[in-house]
Amino acid sequence: MNRSSRLRTALGVTAALLSGTATQAAPWRHGVIEPKSDAGFFLMATTQDFAKKHGLELQVVPLKNETLGLRALISGDLDSYEGSPPIVAAARGADVKVIGCPWGSLPHLILARTGIDTLKDLAGKNMATSSPGSMPDLVGRIALEQAGLAPGSVKLANVGSDSDRYRSLVGGIVDAAVISSEYLPIADMQKVHVLAKGGAVVPEFMRICYQTTAKTIAERPDDVVRFLTLEMDSLRYALDHKDATVALTRAATGQKPDDPRAAFMFDEASQPGAVDPTLPIPAAKFEATQQALIKLGVSPKAIDIAAIIDAAPREKALAAAGRQ
C-alpha cells in the first residue's frame, strides 16, 4: 500500500463517523501536507469525535505540497489549509488570512554525506532542496549565505519530498539535503550527518500556520471558530497521549513498530516553541520573516503584516476551549 493509499485508509473513517452528525450542511475541507513522521499531530482531529463534539463535519484533504494547498484555498476548493505564513502570496494580492499557528520551530536539517564537515565544504557541490520559495529552499539558501558562500557556488536541486531528498542523499546523487529532522535517528546508519539546524539558521521562521480566506471568515464565521476549537482540543490530546499519537503516525505512514522516527518526532514536538495547542500568531516573527524573504528576492514587496492576520476567531476558540 503506497503512502497516499495509507492516508486515505487512515482518514476514511472520518466520513463514516461524522456523516449526518454535523449541525452545518457544508463540510469543512482542511488541507494537510502528505503525512510524515509527525502526522499524528495533524491527523488527530479526525479521531476521538473531536469534530462531532464541535458540530463540524471535518474533511481532511491530503496535499502533495504547500503550493497546491494555497491554490486550492484561493480557488475555494479548501476552507483552510496548513502551511508556512503566506507572506509572499499576500504580497502578490492573494486573499489569505492566518488564524492560528500550531507549530512554531522549524524541524528542518541540512544533512551531508561523509567528507563534508562544514557548509563551506559545499562549494562546487550540490544540495537537494525543494521548489523555489519553499521552506527547504529558503533554509538552504539562507544557511549558505550565512556561511559566506556566493549565490550559485552551490547547485540547488529541486528534489520532491523529504523522503525523495533523503534517498538522493544516501544514494550519493547529491552531497547534501534540506530535510525534516525525522531522519536524524537513522542518519548515522546511512553515514550522513548534520551540517546545520533550520531553527538555528532562521529562528524567526514559523513552520505551520492555519490559513483561510477573508471570504470564508465572512461567510462561515462560526465554522472557523469550530475548526480552531477542535484543532486546539485535538493537539492538546495528541501531546498528552504519546502512544496514540505515535500509533496514528505509523498507521498513516506505514512505519514499522521498530522505526524510531515517529517517537522521535513526538519528543521534538513536545519541546518548548514547537506544538502549541493555543495556536499563537507571532506577528513579530512574521515581520522578521518578511524581511528575509525580501532580501532573498522571494517576496516582491513589503506588506502590512497585520493585514494577513485575523486573530478574532482564535480568541473565540480559546474561550470555547477553556484556554484563555
Mean pLDDT of 91-109: 95
φ, ψ dihedrals at 304, nearest 5°: -75, 110
In the predicted model, what is the mean pLDDT of the chain? 90
pLDDT at position 104 is: 93
Question: For residue 25, what pLDDT is reported?
Answer: 54
**How far apart are the C-alpha atoms of 107 and 93, rounded to whole Å?**
29
Is residue 118 within 8 Å of 194, Cβ to Cβ? Answer: no
- pLDDT mean over 214-230: 97
Band of the pLDDT at 294, cuts 50, 70, 90?
very high
Q: Is the pLDDT of residue 40 over 60?
A: yes
Q: Where are the alpha helices (DSSP H) in 79-177?
A: 87-91, 135-146, 162-170
108-201: CATH class: alpha beta
Helix (H/G/I), strand (E/B), else coil: 266: helix
Share of the chain above pLDDT 90, in %: 79
Is pLDDT above 50 for 322? yes
CA pair distance 3, 139, nearest whole angstrom: 26
Look up residue 250 and give its three cell numbers. Answer: 505509523
Cα 312 from Cα 212, distance rounded (Å): 13
What 3-state DSSP class applies to 1?
coil
The residue assigned the cell 544540495 is 127
- Residue range 3-105+205-321 in CATH 3.40.50.720: no
pLDDT tier, 132 (very low <50, low <70, confident <90, very high otherwise):
confident
Report yes or no: 3 and 254 within 8 Å, Cβ to Cβ: yes
Mean pLDDT of 234-247: 97
Regarding predicted confidence, which is higher, 88 or 14?
Answer: 88
Q: What percent of the chain has pLDDT over 70?
A: 92
Phi, psi of 78 (to 5 degrees): -125, 150
CA atoms within 13 A on the CB side of 128: 26
pTM of the model: 0.87
Q: What are φ and ψ of residue 178, in 5° steps?
A: -95, 115
Band the pLDDT of 24: cuts 50, 70, 90: very low
Answer whether residue 15 shows pLDDT above 80.
no
Coil vs helix vs strand at 67: helix
pLDDT of residue 261 exceeding 50, the answer is yes
- In this predicted structure, what is the pLDDT of residue 144? 96
Q: Where in the chain are all domains bearing CATH 3.40.190.10? A: 3-105+205-321, 108-201
Split at pLDDT 50, 70, 90, the class of 19 is very low
Residue 261 parent element (H or E): helix 261-269
Would you say residue 1 has pLDDT above 90?
no
Q: What is the average pLDDT across 203-222?
A: 95
pLDDT confidence of residue 134: 84
Q: Which residues fall within 8 angstroms of residue 83, CB to CB, at 6 or more apart?
A: 33, 66, 69, 70, 208, 209, 211
